[in-house]
Structure 1
Amino acid sequence: MRPVLRLLPLSLCVAFCLQARAADDPPQTWRLCPIGDVVPPFADAIRAPEGLNIDPTGDTPTDIEGDLLSGTDANPVFQGNVTMRRGNQFMGADQLIFDKEAGNYAAEGSVRFQARGLRLRAARAEGDQNTDTHTMQDLQYQLLSRRGNGKADSLNLTGELGSLRGATFSSCPPEQRHWEVSARRIDIDTESGMAVARGASLKVGKVPVLYMPWFMFPTDERRRTGLLYPSISNSGRNGFDWRQPVYLNLAPNYDATLSPRWMSKRGALLGGQFRYLLEDGEGTLDGVWMPNDQLRDRSRGLGHFEGVHNLTPDWQARASLNWISDPRYYEDFSSSIDGLSQATSYSALGVYGRGRDWTAGVVADHWQLADYTLTDAVLPYDRLPRAYLSWERRVGGLLHAGVDAEAVRFHHPLYAAGSRVDLRPWIGAPLEGDAWFLRPTLAWRYTGYSLDRALGQALGGESPTRAQSIFSVDTGLFFDRETQVKGKRYLQTIEPRLFYLNVPYEDQADMPVFDTQPLTFSWGQLFRENRYSGADRQADANQITLAVSSRMIRQADGFERFSASLGQIRYLKESRVRLPNEPVTEKGRSAWVADVNYAPTDRWTIGASYQRDPKFGRTDLASLRARYLLPDQGVFNLAYRYRRALLEQVDVSFLYPLNPSWSLVGRSYYSLRDRKALESLAGVQWDSCCIAMRLVARRYVHNRAGDLSNALMFEIELKGLGSAGQDARSALRRAILGYNRDDLYLVPPQTATGQPSPPDNANANP
């Protein structure tokens, strides 16, 4: 028999009736949840036949089977292991009676229903096919596409309208009901995607914490105008802080969010975001306006636009535009030290292209001061505009040729500027084998200027130029061997490398400095052809870099147990080109650059970097980093950073599990040079299958004067529903590296998940 039962609204109303929440970010963790199903799988709910594993429609046939068929042809009665399938929907019962003429059916005894995303049990079910009315009594359900379960006294469906009475929902298992939402009645309209709950309450444990006599919420993923979750917090600077976002669904391809915010110690502001999506591009416009900030007794604001648009298959327009009302904005509206490290606000707008052998672009950028302790004199030059082109192609059998070109017009609010053209054609012969490489390259660099009169007079000419040849040879060898350490197979490598650079001297004292700075000395600079960024200076050089690296790679899984690198530049001739007030690079040797990483076990990772200047016998840079992965998702981090004349800092952070549920968290970020704590954090957190609570005390630098601010953050997270309180989880993720194991690849997957390691003789190659 093939009666048509329209049960589609059933899965929709139950699966979404209590799931009106935003997507979780980051994803929820359910590692403490017991393994098992609230509603066990049905053995007779086999997968639908090929082609029918779809949501049913009015034309989808229904198949009914049972051990025994009795009754009449007009009123068949199915008994014993009754199954009814329609598309991807399944219903099972001990008995099902169907009245063909009236269109009624009744199912009794262990009623079981399963559809996409939902599985439930009910005491009985009945319906009227002619009026498209269906009823289920005393049901228990479990969501399959997300974690959640609950009960309902009854479910009534009429067409696209549904009603749940005495309904509950929670992501907790029934035996550990740490939180639960219940409602006296929920009316659902699946056609409009909206529902109305009456008499809804939230319990944490057995304590009611929230009651709403009436509220409306969406039941599907369709965008619609309405309120989003509010944000409520309290701090010493802002006082009581309340933010209430309002979402505006303006059109299928664009929307907006308004975010009014009130701070008891500072006043009210309005934030907003507008998003659009076109066939060839997308963009987001953010803005904040505060008529009067009592902290500064002035109006404040921010504007930001981020967008891309595809012009052709090879060309794209991109924009990243920023504006702030005053140089204190980032400091005053940031709750971390990141706001203090931003001295400028940067904007860029351009058209970018990329082809098989080329990249090109025309871009304009602008800098705005974001540090009130500085003046516009420190701002970089704006480039209005900058055009660039890079082209490279194989010529002949062994040769590669290319050109790098740039044309820029500079502008500054205080200083005279000008234009610059930089050309660098080159040719090379990259040769390599399985265990060696040899890359000789010959380039010629021309740079010319057209300067404003005032700057030209100061430098001795409005059109200075420079032309230099650049010759380099980069070569290296790869030695490897198989070895065993404590019964495990490793691949050990030794990789010597030599880099020679020769650039003739060219006097550049009459050339301006627009966008050029010395590069921070590091491993990468050992193999560069210029020690400056930008084109205003090309360093002369006659030097050789000698370097060597070694690695120990576990063959079972490719894990790098040990690596070490050591390198130094030998200056065969002193470099005479320099920036104003920069010391001369004399003949001799550069600082040694060393870097070592060692993993004694899969849980320990230790690393160190070191630079020592042999001429002055001093340490230029030193850093030490260590990480230990504790059981039960714990982590301990230690870092020491030193850079001569700039900083000396110690950073210790940890997440220490006391047991699978309770853990301690903390961080101490201290400046030894200033003898001042930059951030201190201590707290405790409790985690269970479906609920988590975090209590964190925090003390941090909140302005450039070095003043400290205190904050006490408390957050309760109902997994699968949302969280209340201050966002302590985000603060912990930022402060403790590895706070969530899924946000950092710390150890090989099999070790991190507790799975057995592959055998030592496993083949590491695919």
Structure 2
Amino acid sequence: MQIRYFLALCLLPHTVFAQAPAPEAEQLPLCVVEPPVSRSFNDREKLSGIQDTDIVIISDNSSAAFDDKAHFSGDVSFSQGSRHIAADQAILDQKKQQLSANGNLIFKDDQFTITAENLQAQMSSNSATLEGAEYWFHGQQAHGDAKKLQITSENNLILSGTNFTTCPPGDESWLLEADMIKIDSEEEWGEIWNAKLRIADVPVMYIPYMTIPVSDKRKTGFLFPSFSTSTTNGVQLSTPYYWNIAPEYDLTFTPDVMSSRGLFVKTEFRYLAGEQQNGQLNVEYLGNDRKLFNNPERYLFHWSHQGAIDENWRVRANYTDVSDNNYFNDLNSDVNRSTDNQLSRIGEASYFEQNWDFNMRVQDIKVLGEDERPYQVMPQLNFNYRKINFWNAIDFRFNSELTNFQHQDNQYTTATRLHMVPSLTLPIQGPAGSLTSEIKLLQTQYWQAPDEKDTQLAESVSRTIPQVRLHGQINFERPTTFFDSEFKQTLEPQFQYLYVGYEDQSDIGIYDTAQLQEDYFGLFRDRRFSGLDRIADANQLTLGFTTRFLDGNNLEKFKFSLGQTLYFEDSKVLLENHYLQESESTSVLAAELDAHLYKDWFISGSMQHDTENNKNKKNEVTLDFRPSKDKLLQFSYRYVPDLLNTNTNDRVNISQAGIRTSWPISDDLYFVGNWYYDLNESRRIETYTGFQYESCCWAVRLSYHYRIKTNYDDDLSESIDSREEFEKGVYLNFVIKGLGGSGPLGVDDMLNEGLFNYRKPLYLRN
């Protein structure tokens, strides 16, 4: 059981609440409070030839003495540049360049609008003092009132005896009262002295000094801390600190104290490298984990970088390393989720021209929970050339790859592979269909350094395999009627003949190759393996079709695809490498379905059926009810037989059903729920229930989470049995908007909580 909620720091001599930059500005148009406007503000817009330095005075009545005082009454308007003052009465002292105004007084400029009892302004210095003031920031929720408000010549605000809130007028869900607030209009931050925070008109906190944002602009300071208790981590207190180092650099440092484990420190550094490159560096460290045997140290290091050097060069880098296999399962990392079991390390530089490109890459993948490590790519060079209409409408392509494979364990075979593929393609396309003819020559050369155990591998292997592919598609359409509605139906049959020559490849090691899935779209691939260590011979014909129904607005309401491959010969490569247990004359029968059933009901599904043995290989289906963007009810089921369990090396059947929903109970209250059940084990594997209330000025979320926990065997614990099989918790999150909080909690992230992320169905083109 875990309780989590956000608190504000209190009783500190100097407290700063700040906010890190959000990916995009918060958009709450219904919450923005519109300040009052006088009709005289529009009168200046009707005048022509007015300069920003000119002082324009408009009123119903006026009287003036030369070089003395001028009196104005009746909807008075004073304007200079972007500043406007409206009042019932005003006096202008021309000698002292002072303006006094009162009665329905409104002051407005580009930043804010102020109403007050009276105003004293110094025209020469552009400064003013208002008493009994109320203020609003334009385009934002922030507003308040003050006994005395001063506008400096730098357009800053100094408020005395004041308060501040982001709630609508009349709503005092929270209110910050202070002796003085100073708001810097350029930095867009406010400094507050001797403040009291009231929630529901009850004082809950005294803060001697703090700063608050009045926009999304970044500023150094403390972020809202978090507090939690749990049986796993004990009492936990997190106090993040944000450092706005420079416009192109920032850093977030988060000490996280866990009574059961110790001090967990997280640091995130972000940077911009010029206008087109950016990156991020994360370091996480737990010195002595008291929860585990021998109190081991646990750490994470992550670096990512991407961008363009110029119009032709692109770069990308990603590196992550952790201390142990269960790091993401036990600790709340900022980098990966608990469901991620692969760490990618990659460095890449690419150069692009119109007809050719060149790529350099190094890659290493760490698989958590598995003893066997994949090969490292150190390095890989790719060169690709293409020429459209090379000769008589024939396209020419040349793809090449030079890869060096290394392994961290010296007892493994190392190799260098050179692969070249020249190809000629004749594409014929038209409204009625298409026909593509393609010829390839796959030439590969291996230089291997076999280990003593791999006696069957050769030191040098040359492999030459021809490939012929013929792919055609025809488009038919007709008008039809269903349920008294007019539709246009299409029928799109397609075929593919594929011939790939055979060559014995048993003397080549496996470095980066695995068998691919056989879904509908995979049936029309020209390969059955990822990687190049095995190229399956083929003499086969794939037949398939797609049919669609489009309504009168040409919107797709139904799509169904069905296909299967006929094998004229058995693949010797698949049989020799035990990817096939016996001969097969056909592939699985693969189908895909996406349909708008009725009104707000949608269905999406896929199937792979073994017609020779009359058994299903894989089934997935989701049924969605989505009457609006914020309403969702989804039923799902998936079945995958004979799946390898990497923890036990056993074969298991996956049969799981689930329900997911996101539904507004009212305008401000949302409910989100997930429930997944294992039909084979007769147990639930995940439950998530959450309620979220969000108003204009605060948000709260209460949620319950129960899920099966992934536990990998590693050296940090005496036994895997010492770890919990399931984890559960109750979470309470609270945000006060406008005091440095991170904005609305959001409902979309609740849908992505847990093991099964929300997968939006294909809504066709509706």
TM-score, normalization by structure 2:
0.86
Deviation at 1:744, TM superposition (A): 6.4
Structure 2 counterpart of 1:327, which letter?
A: N
Distance 2:344 2:46 in 1: 56
What SS does structure 2 have at the residue aligned with 1:588?
coil
Residues 543-582 of structure 1 aligned to structure 2 (within 5 Å): 543-556=540-553, 558-578=554-574, 580-582=577-579
Residues 319-334 of structure 1 aligned to structure 2 (within 5 Å): 319-334=317-332
Q: Which moved more, 1:411-420 or 1:487-496?
A: 487-496
Tell me, yes or no, if structure 1 residue 466 matches structure 2 residue 459. no
Structure 2 counterpart of 1:424, which letter?
A: V
CA contact 2:37–2:106 (8 Å) conserved in 1: no
Structure 2 counterpart of 1:681, which letter?
A: Y
Q: Which moved more, 1:20-29 or 1:345-354?
A: 20-29
CA contact 1:180–1:203 (8 Å) conserved in 2: yes
- Aligned twin of 1:621: 618
Deviation at 1:404, TM superposition (A): 1.2
Structure 2 counterpart of 1:677, which letter?
A: R
What SS does structure 2 have at the residue aligned with 1:175?
coil
Deviation at 1:513, TM superposition (A): 0.9
Residues 271-290 of structure 1 aligned to structure 2 (within 5 Å): 271-279=266-274, 281-290=277-286
Residues 19-168 of structure 1 aligned to structure 2 (within 5 Å): 21-22=19-20, 30=28, 38-46=34-42, 60-74=53-67, 75-130=69-124, 132-160=126-154, 162-168=157-163
Distance 1:51 1:538 in 2: 79
Tell me, yes or no, if structure 1 residue 239 matches structure 2 residue 234. yes
Deviation at 1:399, TM superposition (A): 0.7
270 and 716 in structure 1: CA distance in 2 versus 1, 3 angstrom threshold: closer
Structure 1 counterpart of 2:707, which letter?
A: Y
215 and 334 in structure 1: CA distance in 2 versus 1, 3 angstrom threshold: closer
Deviation at 1:64, TM superposition (A): 2.1
343 and 216 in structure 1: CA distance in 2 versus 1, 3 angstrom threshold: closer
Q: How many residues align?
A: 721
Q: Which moved more, 1:597-606 or 1:510-519?
A: 597-606
What SS does structure 1 have at the residue aligned with 2:752?
helix
Deviation at 1:201, TM superposition (A): 2.4
Distance 1:650 1:745 in 2: 16
CA contact 2:588–2:608 (8 Å) conserved in 1: yes
CA contact 1:632–1:657 (8 Å) conserved in 2: no
Cα RMSD of the aligned pairs, angstroms, is: 3.5
Show structure 2 runs of 5+ residues with no match: 1-15, 644-653, 712-719
Residues 201-212 of structure 1 aligned to structure 2 (within 5 Å): 201-212=196-207
Deviation at 1:25, TM superposition (A): 6.7
Distance 2:701 2:635 in 1: 23
- Aligned twin of 2:210: 215
Structure 2 counterpart of 1:65, which letter?
A: I
Structure 1 counterpart of 2:382, which letter?
A: Y
CA contact 1:635–1:739 (8 Å) conserved in 2: no
Tell me, yes or no, if structure 1 residue 439 matches structure 2 residue 436. yes
CA contact 1:226–1:246 (8 Å) conserved in 2: yes
What SS does structure 1 have at the residue aligned with 2:381?
strand
567 and 744 in structure 1: CA distance in 2 versus 1, 3 angstrom threshold: closer
Distance 2:288 2:515 in 1: 42
Deviation at 1:381, TM superposition (A): 0.6
- Aligned twin of 1:497: 494
Deviation at 1:192, TM superposition (A): 6.6
Deviation at 1:219, TM superposition (A): 5.7
Tell me, yes or no, if structure 1 residue 424 matches structure 2 residue 421. yes
Distance 1:430 1:353 in 2: 27
Tell me, yes or no, if structure 1 residue 635 matches structure 2 residue 628. no
TM-score, normalization by structure 1:
0.86
Q: 1:653 aligns with which of 644, 649, 660?
A: 660
Deviation at 1:363, TM superposition (A): 0.8
Distance 1:725 1:132 in 2: 35
Distance 1:47 1:486 in 2: 60
Structure 1 counterpart of 2:148, which letter?
A: S
What SS does structure 2 have at the residue aligned with 1:464?
strand
- Aligned twin of 2:716: none
- Aligned twin of 1:9: none
Structure 1 counterpart of 2:422, which letter?
A: P
716 and 275 in structure 1: CA distance in 2 versus 1, 3 angstrom threshold: closer
Q: Which moved more, 1:510-519 or 1:692-701?
A: 692-701
Deviation readout 1:79-115 (Å, 9 max, x if unpaired):
2222233333332222222112111101222122333
Deviation at 1:180, TM superposition (A): 2.5
Structure 2 counterpart of 1:463, which letter?
A: S
194 and 335 in structure 1: CA distance in 2 versus 1, 3 angstrom threshold: closer
Show structure 1 runs of 5+ residues with no match: 1-17, 752-766
Distance 2:525 2:49 in 1: 60
676 and 48 in structure 1: CA distance in 2 versus 1, 3 angstrom threshold: farther
Distance 1:47 1:243 in 2: 55
Residues 339-358 of structure 1 aligned to structure 2 (within 5 Å): 339-358=337-356
Query: Larger relative CO (CA 8 A, sep 6+): 1 or 2?
Result: 2
- Aligned twin of 2:735: 717
Deviation at 1:577, TM superposition (A): 0.9
Tell me, yes or no, if structure 1 residue 700 matches structure 2 residue 707. yes
Deviation at 1:164, TM superposition (A): 0.6
506 and 368 in structure 1: CA distance in 2 versus 1, 3 angstrom threshold: same
Tell me, yes or no, if structure 1 residue 405 matches structure 2 residue 403. no
Distance 1:104 1:581 in 2: 95
255 and 703 in structure 1: CA distance in 2 versus 1, 3 angstrom threshold: same
- Aligned twin of 1:764: none
Structure 1 counterpart of 2:329, which letter?
A: E
What SS does structure 2 have at the residue aligned with 1:174?
coil
Q: 1:679 aligns with which of 657, 676, 686?
A: 686
- Aligned twin of 2:248: 253
Deviation readout 1:463-489 (Å, 9 max, x if unpaired):
112111110011101122344555655
Structure 1 counterpart of 2:266, which letter?
A: G
